[in-house]
Chain A
Amino acid sequence: MSALPKPVAEPSATPPPQRGAAARLRRFVAGARLEWRRAPYTVRLSVSALLVFYLFAAASPIIAPYDPTQQYRNLPDCPPMRLHLAPPSQWSHGFFFAYPMTMTDAMARRFAEDRTRRTWVRLFHRGHLFTTDLPADPYFMLGSENLGRDLFSRIVYGARVSMCIGLVGVFISFSLGILVGAFSGLMGGMTDNLIMRWCEIEMSLPSFYFLLALAAVIPSGMSTVATFFMIVAIMAFISWAGFARVIRGMAAAVRSAPYVEAGRALGASRTRLLILHVIPTVLGFAAVNASLSIPGYILGESSLSLLGLGIQEPAASWGNLLSQAMDPQNIEHYPWVLIPGIFISLAVMAFNFLGDYLRDRLDPSNLN
C-alpha cells in the first residue's frame, strides 16, 4: 500500500501577514520605500524640501545660528558672506571661516571684507548647527536686514509661522468642512438646502478684500501666537465652505449606497452612519484637497504680513521679512531682501507638486 503523498503546502507568493507592532512598522516602512521609489523626482524633491522646512520650524533654536531678535547694529543690510574652506594646516582652529565685514560707507551701507581677520564658523558649537564664537563678528549666511539681524536665523524662525499656518488652517477648515458637508449630504432636504445656500454665500465673498477688512480686527499689541490664530481663524472661516460643498456632494452620493442603506436598516443612528459610513468614504479625497489648499494659507499669511496686517515685528514670518522689499530701492541695493520670497515660492511649489501627485496617485481610475 503506497501511502498517499503528503500534501505539500503551495509555496505562496506572499507570506501571510504577520501580526504585531514591529511587523506592522516593517510593512509600513517597506510600503513607504516603494512609494518613494516610484514617485517622480519632482515629488521626491518636494517632500525633501518640505521636510527641511518643517525641521526649520521644529528645531529653529538649533538650526538658526543666532537669536532672531539679536541686532548687530554695526552691520545693517550687510550682504551675504562668503564661506571659505580653511587649508588643512589650520584645521585645529576650524574647517570654515569667513572674512568679517566692516562698513566703508555708512550712508549707502556699503561693506568690505576685512581680509586681515578671520571669523571661524564652527559646526555643532554652543548648541547650534553652526555658529561663531560670541564676541567675534557674526557670520551672515544670507546677509542681514536693516536692523542688523541675521536673515537666515529669521527665516528659520519664520518657518514656524509660515509652515504651520497651512497645517493648522487646513485642520480647521478640513474638520469643519467634513462635518458640515457630510451632515448636510446625509440629511438632505431642507437642512441640506439651507446649509448649501449659506456655503454659496461664503464662496462668493471677495476673499482677499474680506480678509483685509477682517485683519483690521487684529490689534497690533497682540502676542504673535494670538495673532497667528486670529489669521488662521479668519482664513479658515473664509475657505471651509467650498470644501463642505464638495464633501456634501460625495456624501449625498453615498447616502443611497447599499452599505449605508444596510446600516440604516439595522437601525444605526444618524451620528453612527455619519461617523462610520460617510466620513471614511470621503476621507481620501479630503486629504488630497487639503494638501492642495495649504498653499492658499501660506500665501494668505504672507500677503497679510507683507502689508503689515499680519504677524508683527519683532516676530518673524516669511511674509513680514519680505516687507523690506516693498521699497524698490531696497531691492536694488540689497537684493538679498528677496530671499524670504524664494522660500515662500519653494514651499508653495512643493505643496503643489505633492498635492498634484497625490491626486493622480489616489485616483482609482488610474490605479495602474
Chain B
Amino acid sequence: MSDQQTEKNAQSNEPQASRLLVLWRKIALIRESRVGMLGTFLVAFWLVLSVIVPALPLFDPLQQYPCCISLPIASHGEDGGFFVLGTDDRGRDILARLVWGGRLVLFWATLSMLVAYVVGGAMGLVAGYLRGWWDVGLSFLANVLLSFPVMVMYLLVITYLGGASGVNVIFAVTFATAPAIFRIVRGLILDIRARDYVFAAQVRGEHPLRIMLVELLPNVRGPLIVDMCLRLGYTTITIALLGYLGIGLPPPAPNWGTMIADAQQFGHLGVNAMLWPALAISTLVLGLNLFADGLREVSLRD
C-alpha cells in the first residue's frame, strides 16, 4: 500500500518538476530582450552582492572610526584602512553600509512582498472563485483600504502598532498593497473561472480549496510573476522610504533610506554619503522594472 502510494507520488511529482522547468524556460526567454537583459544584470548584481557580502573583505558596517568623519571618496584612514567610497558622519565606511544595506533592503522587501501576496492572493482567489457575499465583502474591504493614500496608511499603521520595527513594516506593506494584489488576482480568476477544466474539476467533486490552488492559481501565474517583479520594486522603495522617514527598520541597521536621512542633516558634508544610497536604490529599482518589462515583452510574443 505504502509502496503504491510512493510510486503514485513519484509519478505526480514528475509533471510538477517539468512544469517548473517550462516556467524556467519561459523566464529564460528574457535573453531575447535587450532591455530585459540589462534588468537581469542589474538585479543579479545586487542579488549576488547581498548573498556574498559576509564573505567580502569589507569594514564592519556598524563600526565607527572617530578619526575619520565624513571623508570623501578613496580616503585613507589612520590605521592604514582604505575607505573606497569615503565615510559617513559617524566615521562608518560607506561602501560596507551600502552593500549590507542592499542585503537588508532586499531581504525585507522580498519578505513583505511575499506576505502581502499570500494575503492579497488568498483574498482574490476566494472572492473571484466563490463570488457571492465573499466577493461583496472582500471587495468592499479592499475599496476601503485603497481609499487611504499609501503614505497615510504607513504612518497610521506603524505609529499605531508602536513604532519602527521589522514586523510593523511587514504589516504596513501588507495593509497597503494586499488590496491591489487582491484586485489583480480577483480579475484574473474571474476571467478563467468558467473554463472547461474548472467545470471538469467541479464535476469530479473536488474541494473548492483544491480547485483554487491546483486548477486556478497555476493558470494565472504569468501575469502574476510580472506583477511580482514590479511590486518588488515598489516594496524596495517602500522599505528604503520608511527608513528615510524614521518609521522603518530601526537604526543603526544600514538601510539605504536611513543613510540618506542621516547624511541630509549635514548639508555639504553629507553629500557624498547621500549620493551613494540614492544611486543604489535607483539602479536596483530600475533593474527590477526593466526585468519586468522584458518578461512582459517575451511573454506577449507567444
A and B associate in one complex = no
- Interfacial residues, chain B to chain A (CB-CB below 8 A): none
